[in-house]
């Protein structure tokens, strides 16, 4: 499928526990090493560059039982896990990401019980987890740069996710910036700012509120001078995963929005919501607003002195079907927004589409489909078919241009729930209808992404 799309870089994530079943380096699973070696070798065989993420939300169970990233001991364990990955795969892997979407590891699980490990303890463990995650990142980067980068010659970064915070009026510009500092700055300010620390707006407000709430010290941990030195500049590129936008305005000091106290939301003290007029998708949280991508990239350029940026994930969901006209248009509109940002001077180096094929979307299971390729979950062989979006995306890659009139037909037509045409289609002797997911039981989880590099040669027509 990757070769069919003509892309030359493939982004995927390692599973820590597949390599170290207990999370600790004294027990290395050679079958796991072989699994990834086979994948990497096959990519290299076809001149496809592997872009590898070390951690994608799946803390080894034994380490989670010790507190996961709320326990500082995990910093050393992550460093040793990274050492094994660099040593085993670094001769062929030249683009590394330490962490994918830290908020999905630290904020959603501990603030809202919406991701694993599923705790609801707001205002405290989000910051402790984020602190240790950043220290783990810094340790892995220092290790790579001192022991592996000189001979392997790769680059290493981190990827953060977040939605653009669109102010509801000019009077709410400060609320927008505060939101961006809490969403992005908590992870990127220590890396890209001169201070090497959290954003001042976070340090000051959380310290003040912590005192008022009776805490002996700020709920936001402090970095030592040595940790600050390790964090500053600890990313060769700014990885950004972006999908949608939120409208924001400031909550008042009386907490009229009724946010929990303490909590990350109350600390930030801004309210987010989405415009009902924006097009909906297969996910409740994802509405289509392409200008938000341009605004995020422009904010990164202004805030962090225009670092090299990889858009490491971008895509849209639906609930099924292969004639995915809305996904085709989504990619065209968001790519055009990125090109607008490049025209304005943003140093965007590459773009990654989420995802190569339909996959297991965490708590949404198999219901939400993000793939360029359709997966027939009721087929024991999990047959895959190119959607309209796969063919349109492949055309963009091959021509290095965006044709607004290009709306190709899929490999086969499988109707989705919103399609008027519910004609059945015969595929390999089976009948596939819009209800083809009903027999789904399991699908091996894989986080598979694809990329087309810009390098200033993707042109609009």
Beta partners for residue 310, in sequence order? 239, 350
DSSP code, position 248: E
CA distance 258 to 256: 5
Q: How many CA atoms lie within 13 A of 83 on its CB side?
A: 16
CA distance 107 to 259: 15
SS (H, E, C) 161-218: ECCEEEECCHHHHHHHHHHHHHHHHHHHHHHHCCCCCCCHHHHHHHHHHHHHCCCCCC
The phi and psi torsions of 282 (rounded to 5 degrees) equal -80, -5
Q: Residue length, the chain?
A: 461
CA distance 303 to 183: 13
Contact between 336 and 290 under an 8 Å Cβ cutoff? The reply is yes
Q: What Å distances lie between residue 274 and 27, 121, 243, 244, 305, CA to CA?
A: 47, 26, 13, 9, 29
Gyration radius of the chain's alpha carbons? 22
Of 61, 66, 49, 50, which is closest to residue 14 (Cα–Cα)? 50
Task: Judge residue 385's burial from the number of C-beta atoms within 10 Å of its C-beta, 0-12 exposed, 13-18 middle, 19 or more buried.
Answer: buried
* Residues forming the active site: 101, 313
DSSP code, position 251: P
CA distance 356 to 97: 19
DSSP code, position 70: G
DSSP assignment of 315-356, as one string? ---BSS-S--HHHHHHHHHHHHHHHHHHHTT--EEEEEEE-S
What sign for the dihedral angle of Cα 199, 232, 68, 38? Answer: positive
Quick one: angle between helices 74-89 and 125-143, nearest 10?
A: 40
Q: In 3-state terms, what secondary structure has residue 381?
A: coil
Rounded to the nearest angstrom, the gap between the alpha carbon of residue 216 and the centroid of all alpha carbons in its chain is: 35
CA distance 310 to 148: 22
């Amino acid at each position: 499928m990757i070769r069919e799309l003509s892309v030359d870089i493939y982004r995927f994530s390692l599973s820590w526990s597949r390599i170290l079943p207990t999370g600790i380096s004294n027990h290395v699973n050679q079958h796991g090493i072989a699994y990834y070696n086979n994948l990497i070798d096959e990519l290299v065989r076809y001149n496809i560059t592997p872009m590898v993420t070390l951690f994608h939300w799946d803390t080894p169970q034994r380490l989670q039982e010790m507190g996961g990233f709320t326990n500082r001991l995990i910093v050393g364990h992550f460093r040793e896990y990274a050492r094994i990955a660099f040593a085993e795969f670094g001769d062929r892997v030249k683009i590394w990401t330490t962490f994918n979407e830290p908020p999905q590891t630290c904020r959603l699980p501990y603030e809202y019980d919406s991701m694993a490990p599923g705790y609801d303890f707001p205002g405290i463990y989000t910051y402790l987890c984020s602190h240790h995650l950043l220290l783990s990142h810094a340790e892995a980067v220092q290790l790579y740069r001192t022991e592996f980068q000189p001979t392997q010659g790769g680059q290493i970064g981190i990827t953060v996710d977040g939605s653009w915070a669109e102010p509801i009026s000019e009077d709410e510009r400060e609320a927008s910036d505060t939101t961006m500092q809490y969403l992005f700055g908590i992870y990127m300010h220590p890396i890209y700012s001169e201070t090497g620390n959290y954003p001042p707006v976070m340090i000051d407000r959380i310290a003040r509120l912590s005192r008022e709430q009776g805490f002996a010290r700020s709920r936001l941990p402090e970095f030592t001078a040595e940790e600050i030195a390790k964090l500053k500049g600890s990313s060769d590129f700014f990885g950004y995963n972006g999908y949608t936008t939120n409208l924001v305005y400031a909550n008042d000091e009386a907490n009229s929005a009724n946010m929990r106290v303490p909590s990350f939301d109350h600390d930030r003290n801004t309210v987010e919501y989405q415009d009902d007029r924006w097009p909906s998708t297969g996910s409740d949280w994802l509405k289509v607003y392409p200008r938000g991508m341009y605004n995020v990239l422009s904010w990164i350029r202004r805030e962090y002195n225009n670092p090299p940026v990889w858009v490491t994930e971008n895509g849209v969901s639906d609930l099924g079907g292969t004639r995915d006209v809305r996904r085709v248009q989504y990619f065209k509109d968001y790519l055009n927004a990125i090109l607008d940002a490049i025209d304005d001077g943003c140093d965007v180096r590459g773009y990654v589409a989420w995802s190569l094929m339909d996959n297991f979307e965490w708590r949404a299971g198999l219901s939400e489909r993000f793939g360029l390729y359709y997966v027939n979950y009721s087929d024991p062989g999990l047959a895959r078919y190119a959607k309209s979006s796969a063919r349109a995306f492949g055309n963009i890659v091959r021509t290095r241009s965006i044709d607004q009139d290009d709306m190709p037909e899929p490999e086969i037509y499988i109707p989705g729930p919103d399609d008027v045409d519910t004609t059945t289609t015969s595929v390999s002797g089976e009948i596939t209808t819009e209800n083809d997911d009903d027999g789904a039981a399991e699908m091996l989880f894989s986080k598979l992404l694809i990329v087309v590099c810009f390098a200033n040669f993707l042109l609009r027509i």
